[in-house]
Amino acid sequence: MRASRFTSIDLALLAVAGVISGVIFTAAWTIYNVSEVLAGPVGARIISYGLWFMGAPLAASLLKKPLSAFLGEFLGALVETLIAPAGGITNVIYGFAQGLASELGYLTFRYRRWDIISGALAGALAGLPAVGLDAQLFGVVGTPLEMSLWVIAACVSGAIYGAVVSAAALSLRK
Amino acid sequence: MRSAGYKVGEAVLRETGFDGGEGELILVGGASGSGKTTLLLTISGILSSLMGGWVDGSVFIGGEDLLRGDSPASRLVGLVLQDPEKQVLMPTPLDEVLFTLENLGFDESEALTRATELLRSFGLFDKRLDHVETLSGGEKRRLSLASAISHKPYLVMLDEPTASMDPWGIREVRRFVTDLIKEGKTVLIVEHKIKYFLDMADKLVLLSSGRKVSEYSRNELASRDLLKKLRGAGLDVEPVHEMPESPGCKERRIGEVILTVEGLECWHERKKPLLKDVSFELRRGEVLALVGPNGSGKTTLLKTIAGFHKGYSGEIVFRGGVRKAFYVSQTPDYMFLENSVEGELRLAASKTGRSFEVVAGKVPFYEERKHYPPYRLSLGQRRWLTLVIAWAHKPDIILMDEPTAGLDLSLLNSLFEHVRGLSEGGVSFIISTHDPRVLLGLADRSLIIEGGRVKELEPCKAALMLESIAGVY
Amino acid sequence: MRARYRESTLFLYALGASLLAFVANSVKSLILPSLINGILGFASGSKKIPQKLLAALLVLNAWGAFINGLYFHNVGDEIVSIQAVTIRSGAVESFLILTLRFFLIVGSTLLMLGLVNVRDLIRSLERDLRVPSGIAFSIAYAFRLFPLLSKDLSEIRIARKERGFTSVVLSPKHLRSILLPMLNISYERAVWGGISAELRGLRLRKVSGRKPLGLGDVIILSALALQWVISLYS
pLDDT at position B161 is 87
Q: What value does the mean pLDDT take over residues A103-132? A: 93
Nearest CA in chain A to C11: A89
Cβ–Cβ contact B373 with A under 8 A: yes
Tell me the one-letter amino acid at B307. G
**CB-CB under 8 Å, C204 with B103:** yes
- Per the CB < 8 A criterion, the answer to whether C124 and C6 are in contact is yes
Which residues between 125 and 164 in chain B have a beta carbon less than 8 angstroms from any beta carbon of chain C? 129, 131-133, 147
Window from A53-57, B149-153, B291-295 with minimum mean pLDDT = B291-295
Nearest CA in chain B to A170: B339
Cβ–Cβ contact A82 with B under 8 A: no
C-alpha angle C28/C31/C34, rounded to 5°? Answer: 150
pLDDT at position B59 is 73
- Per the CB < 8 A criterion, the answer to whether C124 and C211 are in contact is yes
> What is the number of helices (H) and of strands (E) in chain B?
18, 19
Report DSSP letters for B131-184, one per residue: -GGGS-HHHHHHHHHHHHHTT--SEEEEESTTTT--HHHHHHHHHHHHHHHHTT
The strand ranges marked E within B270-344 are: 272-283, 287-291, 312-318, 325-328
Cβ–Cβ contact C194 with B under 8 A: yes
Question: B318 — phi, psi (to 5°)?
Answer: -90, 135
Distance of CA B71 to the CA centre of its chain: 30
Nearest CA in chain C to B72: C201
Angstroms from C220 CA to nearest CA on chain B: 26
pLDDT at position B62 is 65
Which residues between 11 and 70 in chain A have a beta carbon less than 8 angstroms from any beta carbon of chain B? 12
- Per the CB < 8 A criterion, the answer to whether A97 and A129 are in contact is yes
Interface test with A, best of C183, C185, C189, C192 (most A CBs within 10 A): C183
Cβ–Cβ contact A141 with C under 8 A: yes
Q: What value does the mean pLDDT take over residues A109-126? A: 93
Cβ–Cβ contact B339 with A under 8 A: yes
CA distance B380 to B436: 18
Cβ–Cβ contact C174 with B under 8 A: no
pLDDT digits (tens, 9 = 90+) for B308-344: 998 999 999 998 888 788 999 988 888 888 888 999 9
Angstroms from A121 CA to nearest CA on chain C: 17
**CB-CB under 8 Å, C158 with B334:** yes
Q: C160 vs B9, which has greater pLDDT?
A: C160
pTM of the model: 0.87
Cβ–Cβ contact B389 with C under 8 A: yes
pLDDT category of residue B11 using cuts at 50, 70 and 90: very low
Cβ–Cβ contact B86 with C under 8 A: yes
Q: Which residues of chain A make contact with C197, given a CB cutoff of 8 A?
A: 8, 11-12
Window from A70-74, C81-85, C160-164, C196-200 with minimum mean pLDDT = C81-85
Q: Which residues of chain B make contact with C193, given a CB cutoff of 8 A?
A: 86-87, 89
Nearest CA in chain A to B374: A172
What are the C-alpha distances in Å from B381 to residues A172, B80, B370, B373, B387? 18, 26, 12, 12, 10
Nearest CA in chain B to A171: B339
pLDDT at position B390 is 92
Q: Which residues of chain A make contact with B50, given a CB cutoff of 8 A?
A: 7-9
CA distance B197 to B157: 13
**CB-CB under 8 Å, B308 with C201:** no
User: CA quadruple B161, B162, B163, B167: dihedral positive or negative?
Assistant: positive
- Per the CB < 8 A criterion, the answer to whether B43 and B135 are in contact is no
pLDDT category of residue C1 using cuts at 50, 70 and 90: very low
Non-local CB neighbours of A128 within 8 Å, separated by 6+ positions: A101, A151, A154, A155
pLDDT at position C53 is 75
% of chain B beyond a pLDDT of 90: 26
| Mean residue pLDDT across chain B | 83
Q: What value does the mean pLDDT take over residues B414-442? A: 89
- Per the CB < 8 A criterion, the answer to whether B170 and B193 are in contact is no
Cβ–Cβ contact A86 with C under 8 A: yes
Q: C37 vs C72, which has greater pLDDT?
A: C37
Question: How many Cβ pairs closer than 8 A exist between chain B and C?
Answer: 133
Q: Where in chain C are the domains? A: 7-125+210-232, 132-204
Q: What value does the mean pLDDT take over residues C110-124? A: 86
Which residues between 94 and 113 in chain B have a beta carbon less than 8 angstroms from any beta carbon of chain C? 95, 99-100, 102-105, 108
pLDDT category of residue B8 using cuts at 50, 70 and 90: very low
Q: A101 vs B452, which has greater pLDDT?
A: A101
- The neighbours of chain B, by the rule of 3 or more Cβ pairs under 8 Å, are A, C
pLDDT at position B68 is 66
pLDDT digits (tens, 9 = 90+) for B459-470: 888 888 888 888
Which residues between 39 and 98 in chain B have a beta carbon less than 8 angstroms from any beta carbon of chain A? 50, 89
pLDDT at position C206 is 78
Interface test with B, best of C117, C122, C162 (most B CBs within 10 A): C162
Q: Which residues of chain A make contact with B339, given a CB cutoff of 8 A?
A: 171
Window from B96-110, B166-180, B244-258, B358-372 with minimum mean pLDDT = B244-258
- Per the CB < 8 A criterion, the answer to whether A26 and A80 are in contact is yes
CA distance B96 to B91: 7
Cβ–Cβ contact A13 with C under 8 A: yes
Could you tell me how many residues make up chain A? 174
CA distance B273 to B260: 20
- The neighbours of chain A, by the rule of 3 or more Cβ pairs under 8 Å, are B, C
pLDDT category of residue A124 using cuts at 50, 70 and 90: very high
Residue B307: pLDDT above 80? yes
> Which domains are assigned to chain B?
4-238 (3.40.50.300), 257-470 (3.40.50.300)
% of chain A beyond a pLDDT of 90: 53
Q: What value does the mean pLDDT take over residues B454-461? A: 88
Q: What value does the mean pLDDT take over residues C205-233? A: 85
% of chain C beyond a pLDDT of 90: 11
Cβ–Cβ contact A16 with C under 8 A: yes
Cβ–Cβ contact B453 with C under 8 A: no
Question: B44 — phi, psi (to 5°)?
Answer: -80, 0
Window from A126-135, B248-257, B384-393, C77-86 with minimum mean pLDDT = B248-257
The residues with which B327 forms a beta bridge, in sequence order, are B399
C-alpha angle A160/A165/A168, rounded to 5°? Answer: 130
| DSSP state for residue C184 in the 8-state scheme | H
**CB-CB under 8 Å, B50 with A8:** yes
CA distance B281 to B258: 8
pLDDT at position A159 is 96
Q: What value does the mean pLDDT take over residues A89-96? A: 87
Angstroms from A174 CA to nearest CA on chain B: 10
Residue B54: pLDDT above 60? yes
pLDDT digits (tens, 9 = 90+) for B120-161: 999 899 999 888 988 888 888 899 999 999 988 888 999 988
- The neighbours of chain C, by the rule of 3 or more Cβ pairs under 8 Å, are A, B
Nearest CA in chain C to A133: C22
Interface test with B, best of C200, C204, C208, C210 (most B CBs within 10 A): C200
pLDDT at position B6 is 45
Which of C152, C189, C199 lies closest to B44 in CB terms?
C199
pLDDT at position A60 is 95
pLDDT at position B15 is 58
Q: Which residues of chain C make contact with B335, given a CB cutoff of 8 A?
A: 159, 162-163
SS (H, E, C) B17-40: EECCCCCCEEEEECCCCCCHHHHH
Report DSSP letters for B362-423, one per residue: T-TTHHHHTTS-GGGS-HHHHHHHHHHHHHHT--SEEEEESTTTT--HHHHHHHHHHHHHHH
Beta strand B186-190 pairing with B25-29: parallel
Q: Which residues of chain A make contact with C117, given a CB cutoff of 8 A?
A: none
pLDDT at position B2 is 40
Question: B450 — phi, psi (to 5°)?
Answer: -140, 125
pLDDT at position B246 is 45
Q: Which residues of chain A make contact with C183, given a CB cutoff of 8 A?
A: 16, 20, 168-169, 172
pLDDT category of residue A3 using cuts at 50, 70 and 90: very low
Sheet containing strand B453-457, edge to edge, reads: B325-328, B397-401, B428-433, B287-291, B445-450, B453-457
SS (H, E, C) C132-176: CHHHHHHHHHHHHHHHHHHHHHHHHHHHHHHCCCCCCCCCHHHHH
Q: What value does the mean pLDDT take over residues B82-95? A: 90
Interface test with A, best of C138, C141, C143 (most A CBs within 10 A): C138
pLDDT digits (tens, 9 = 90+) for B210-268: 777 788 888 887 777 777 777 766 677 666 655 544 454 455 557 889 999 999 999 88
User: Any long-range contacts for C57-66 (C-beta under 8 Å, 24+ apart)?
Assistant: C57/A85, C57/A86, C57/C106, C60/A29, C60/A33, C61/C98, C61/C99, C61/C102, C61/C106, C62/C99, C63/A33, C64/A33, C64/A36, C64/C98, C65/C94, C65/C95, C65/C98, C65/C99, C65/C102, C66/C95
> Which domains are assigned to chain A?
3-170 (1.10.1760)
* Measured torsion, CA atoms of residues B255, B257, B259, B265, in degrees rounded to the nearest 10: 130
Residue B42: pLDDT above 70? yes
**CB-CB under 8 Å, C141 with A62:** no
Choose among B87, B95, A14: nearest CA to C117.
B95
Q: Which residues of chain B make contact with A8, given a CB cutoff of 8 A?
A: 50
* Measured torsion, CA atoms of residues A94, A95, A99, A100, in degrees rounded to the nearest 10: -50
Residue C149: pLDDT above 60? yes
- Per the CB < 8 A criterion, the answer to whether B166 and B196 are in contact is no
**CB-CB under 8 Å, B50 with A9:** yes
pLDDT at position B10 is 46
Tell me the one-letter amino acid at A159. A
CA distance A138 to C69: 10
Residue C185: pLDDT above 60? yes
pLDDT at position B248 is 46
Cβ–Cβ contact C222 with B under 8 A: no
% of chain C beyond a pLDDT of 70: 96
Which of C98, C138, C202 lies closest to A18 in CB terms?
C138
pLDDT digits (tens, 9 = 90+) for C8-58: 899 999 989 988 888 887 888 888 899 999 888 888 887 777 777 778 777
**CB-CB under 8 Å, B50 with C184:** no
- Per the CB < 8 A criterion, the answer to whether B198 and B230 are in contact is no
Tell me the one-letter amino acid at B326. F
pLDDT at position B205 is 87
Cβ–Cβ contact B79 with C under 8 A: yes
| Mean residue pLDDT across chain A | 87
pLDDT at position A104 is 95
Which of C180, C185, C198 lies closest to B46 in CB terms?
C198
